[in-house]
Amino acid sequence: MNEETTHKIMDLTNLTLTELQTALQNGETTSTAVTEAMLERIVAIDNDIQSYLTLTDELALAQAQEADERRARGDDSPLLGIPLAVKDMICTEGVQTTAGSKILEGFVPPYDAFVVRKLREAGAVILGKTNTDEFAMGSSTENSAYVTTRNPWDLSRVPGGSSGGSAAAVAANLAYGALGTDTGGSVRQPAAFCGIVGLRPTYGRVSRWGVVAFASTLDQVGTFGRTVADCTAVFQTIAGHDPHDSTSLDVPVPDYEAALTGDIRGLRVGVPKEYFVEGIDAEVETAVRTAIDKLAELGAEIVEISLPHTEYALPVYYLIAPAEASSNLARYDGVRFGPRVAGVDMIDTVKKTRALFGPEVKRRIMLGTYALSAGYYDEYYGRALKARTLIKQDFLNTFDQVDVIVTPTTPTTAFKIGEIADDPLQMYLQDIFTLSVNLSASCGISVPCGFDSQGLPIGLQLIGNSLQEATILNAAYAYEQAANWTGAMAEQPL
């Protein structure tokens, strides 16, 4: 690859999604040229990052050519010809979907998930499927049965999880945006670790049809972007009602992109005292408090609030999520999906096939099965549901006083690969600030708010009431424009 070609690829892949939209609309480039450049960059550097599990290069080039033909006919759809990535928890017709597990190795779905179909209809280009912790169970992408994804800011560190592959791909300019799933923070936490924007919408705002199930009352598809506008553009396309999903909300979809005014004068911003506690890294707290001061400068009213049942979020989550996982993962029996390990009879076959589950998945299945077992259901799962109601009520009461809640996204910056892999409790604590959003059916977004002394990104989390995505997106956009971290976040070493 000569120097001129290398610069051309870098120029195209360094564009944000919204910048690329403008370039395509003005005829300055084509989707084919952009897709070729992106694929060349993936081949050049993804062996180091390992963000993709499956690269659909031939399919992507065919979709890019179709997008160029659509544009030539006058089509000007917002995502037309934009190369995106999809987390490998989300079904893609004709393309292997593994959920990061050996028990689904070789599974090729006969249909697209609702969100993938929406992207295809919009003319987006699907570059491939990104790495994930097995069945989305993890906070580092170290639990993938295939590879460990690395953080583009420091290859010795994790990108977060479980959507670490999608976050790393966007951060390393290997996709202009991406889809992830967020069950307890799996979009927002990796977004914070990788210095990009990650949105977890309200439960039911985006269809879960065609998404491999982990915990059905907590799972939600989310979006990644290099900027708030990028993240919003992808979200705008996939939001909406889906009759195939009984939990999908049948309510109108606002114009989220038009809501990005940057004006937050009079916005009431709540700062919960329970989120600034012992254990949070001092540099993270400083960066977040500085960001809160910036919101005040922009005209927001800062209000100290309390979410008193926050201390129960972690144990509640790790009862409800494993219990639902135990039920959902019972379908993997070697009969209908993925590989089958032959045994002497049906029971032996199921037993040997289920041995393909990784250690973290087995741990959560056993925990969930115990919590649901006779004699323990009311003591554990039943009590967890009651505590979840209290957590949700805290948020509802708080949103009577404020419009947005602001917290750190994570207690630390990205940790080293293997550093806490053998300590499940420390790993679970990585999601301590994000879990409550899923338990309360709120919406949340992580936006970059600075760096620590090691040059690693720090994330600011903004939480909104149910279906208030427009509010948190605009607040995040206002902060992003004022703080101007976008350029610095684009300077990752790769």
Q: Which of 31, 212, 200 is nearest to 116 (CA)?
A: 212
Considering the domain boundaries, does residue 283 fall inside one?
Answer: no
CA distance 177 to 262: 22
Are 139 and 101 contained in the same domain? Answer: yes
Tell me the per-residue pLDDT of 34-59, one tens digit each, with 9 for 90 and over: 999 999 999 999 999 999 999 999 99
Out of 51, 140, 162, 440, pick the active-site residue.
Answer: 162
- Give the CA angle between residues 269, 272, 277 to the nearest 5°: 140
Same domain, 157 and 39: yes
Q: What is the pLDDT averaged over residues 337-342? A: 87
DSSP 8-state secondary structure symbol assigned to residue 141: S
List, as one string, the DSSP characters of 334-363.
Answer: SSSSS-----SSHHHHHHHHHTTS-HHHHH
Q: Is the residue at 275 inside a domain? A: no
One domain for residues 247 and 364:
no
When pLDDT is averaged across residues 334-352 and rounded to a whole number, the result is 89
pLDDT band at 21 (very low <50, low <70, confident <90, very high): very high
Q: Are residues 106 and 65 in the same domain?
A: yes
Ranges of beta strands (E only) in 47-196 are 52-55, 83-87, 125-130, 177-181
Tell me, what DSSP letter sits at residue 85? E
What is the pLDDT at residue 4?
55
3-state secondary structure 186-229: CCHHHHHHHCCEEEECCCCCCCCCCECCCCCCCCCEEEEECCHH
Q: Report the pLDDT averaged over residues 58-66.
A: 98
CB 216 within 8 A of CB 328: yes
Percentage above 90 pLDDT, the chain: 91
Residues 155 and 198 in one domain: yes
In a domain, 461, yes or no: yes
Provide the 10 A C-beta neighbour count for residue 60.
23
Which of 336, 361, 387 marks a domain boundary?
387
Q: Please report whether residue 121 resides in a domain.
A: yes
| Separation CA 441–CA 439 (nearest Å) | 6
Helix (H) or strand (E) holding 400, with range, is none
Q: Please identify which of the residues 31, 51, 87, 442 carries the catalytic annotation.
A: 87
46/126 same-domain check: yes
Distance between CA 240 and CA 380 in Å, rounded?
A: 35
pLDDT for residue 78 is more than 90: yes
Render pLDDT for 153-181 as a digit per residue (tens, 0 to 9).
999 999 999 999 999 999 999 999 999 99
Boundary-marking domain end, from 325, 356, 387: 387
385 vs 381: CA distance, rounded Å? 6
Domains contained in the chain, number: 2
Same domain for 250 and 317? no
Element (H, E) at 365: helix 359-372
Answer whether residue 282 is part of any domain. Answer: no
> 371 and 333 in one domain?
yes
Decide if pLDDT at 231 tops 70. Answer: yes
Per-residue tokens: 488:
């610095």
Domain with 364, as residue range(s), is: 311-387
- Shared-domain flag, residues 99 and 156: yes
> What digits encode the pLDDT tens for the residues 370-425?
999 988 999 999 999 999 999 999 999 999 999 999 999 999 999 999 999 888 88
Last residue of a domain, one of 355, 387, 419: 387
pLDDT exceeds cutoff 80 at 235: yes
Q: Assess whether 378 and 418 both reside in one domain.
A: no
Q: What is the mean pLDDT of the segment spanning 252-277?
A: 97
Does the annotation count 162 as an active-site position?
yes
Average of per-residue pLDDT values in the chain = 95
Is 207 among the residues known to form the active site? no
Q: Is the pLDDT of residue 277 over 90?
A: no
Q: Would residue 274 count as lying in a domain?
A: no
User: Measured between alpha carbons, how far apart are the two ends of the chain, in Å?
Assistant: 17
Cα gap 20→366, rounded to integer Å: 47
Q: Is 87 a catalytic residue?
A: yes
Task: Mark whether 183 and 48 lie in a shared domain.
Answer: yes
**293 within some domain:** no
Buried/exposed code over 279-302 (b: 16+ C-beta within 10 A; e: otherwise)? ebeebbbebbeebbebbeebebee
Looking at per-residue pLDDT, the higher value among 425 and 185 belongs to: 185
With vertex at residue 72, the alpha carbon angle to CA 71 and CA 76, rounded to the nearest 5 degrees, is 25
Q: Which CATH number belongs to the domain containing residue 68 in this structure?
A: 3.90.1300.10
| Set 140, 144, 163, 186: catalytic member | 186
| 144 and 44 fall within a common domain | yes
What gap in Å lies between CA 201 and CA 203, rounded to an integer? 6
The mean per-residue pLDDT over the stretch 462-489 comes to: 93
290 pLDDT more than 70 = yes
In a domain, 277, yes or no: no
